[in-house]
Amino acid sequence: MLPTVGDGQRYNPYRRYRKTKMTKIFEQFDSYSRHARIYPALITASPLATVLITVWNQSLTGRLMPVLVTFGGLFFTANYVRSAGKSLESRLIREWDGLPTTRLLRHRNNPNPPLALRRKRALHGLTGISFPSPAREERDPKGADDLYVTAVRVLIARVRDKDGSYKRVHEENMNYGFRRNLLALRPIGITITILCLVIDFVIWRTGRATASQVLIAAAIHTVFLLAWASVVKASWVYQAGEAYAERLFDTLEDPEILASKDETADQ
């Protein structure tokens, strides 16, 4: 018999080991990987966990999870989600006609030309890149976009080097990565959720669980399906990308960023 702890509950050393093991595994990932890659995958698979809890019990689900992650499941998942998100981003860039950072630097269709000019002057001071005039951008829009993308990448590298100094930028970047990767998993998420609704019906017909348990599971799965259909969209991702772009460009007001001119820009 297991010994009791202070609150009268049975002490289970396996449970403590399981939690410690899970914590150590999650600590192998940085905050961006956890928020932008692992969490979207867990959300996508959540309906399956609901089915397991409904048919069997929570302890079984809790025992399966450490086994999956111990054998590298999370590492594979993180890499798959990253690849799926990057692949989707290429399509989104075409759909959006450029990333938000690029669109906010262009002359054409710019919502705030004076602010864009101020940002380009700061980026020129940082990178040494000379940005095109409106006429030149109109003649060669792709060439102009390439200059904007290059300058933004230099800025991102500068901000990343100052780890911890720009918390808002990091948070918005994680938010954008989370939404982008969740959208990339949308087809899988919808398929899993529909499959779980079918399983709910089968469970109800076969009597494997009580009617109230099946009803709760079906309600959860329905909410997931509605979220996939009405919330997780390209426009939802763009909002996060635009917020990240704004916070990133805000760093151009920091003298420390502007003081670190890119030594390779003039080569």
The residues spanned by each domain of the chain are 34-259
Q: Structure tokens of 192?
A: 């899993």
Q: Which amino acid is at 126?
A: L
199 vs 201: CA distance, rounded Å: 5
Contact 108, 116 (CB under 8 A): no
Q: Structure tokens of 89?
A: 């981003």
pLDDT digit string, tens, across residues 211-221: 888 899 999 99
pLDDT digit string, tens, across residues 95-134: 999 999 999 999 999 999 999 999 999 999 999 999 999 9
* Confidence tier at 21 by pLDDT (50, 70, 90): low
Measured CA distances, 216 to 45, 170, 206 (Å): 17, 37, 17
Measured CA distances, 8 to 12, 16, 41, 128, 180 (Å): 12, 16, 37, 68, 46
pLDDT of residue 173: 95
φ, ψ at 4 (rounded to 5°): -95, 155
φ, ψ at 85 (rounded to 5°): -65, -40
pLDDT of residue 34: 86
pLDDT of residue 266: 38
Higher pLDDT, 20 or 191: 191
Which residues does residue 4 pair with via DSSP β-bridges, in sequence order? Answer: 10
Contact 248, 176 (CB under 8 A): no
* Confidence tier at 49 by pLDDT (50, 70, 90): confident
> Coil, strand or helix: which one is 10?
strand
Q: Structure tokens of 235?
A: 């426009």
pLDDT of residue 11: 44
> Coil, strand or helix: which one is 4?
strand
Q: Structure tokens of 224?
A: 């997931």
pLDDT of residue 267: 36
Strand runs (DSSP E) across the chain, as ranges?
A: none
pLDDT of residue 30: 77
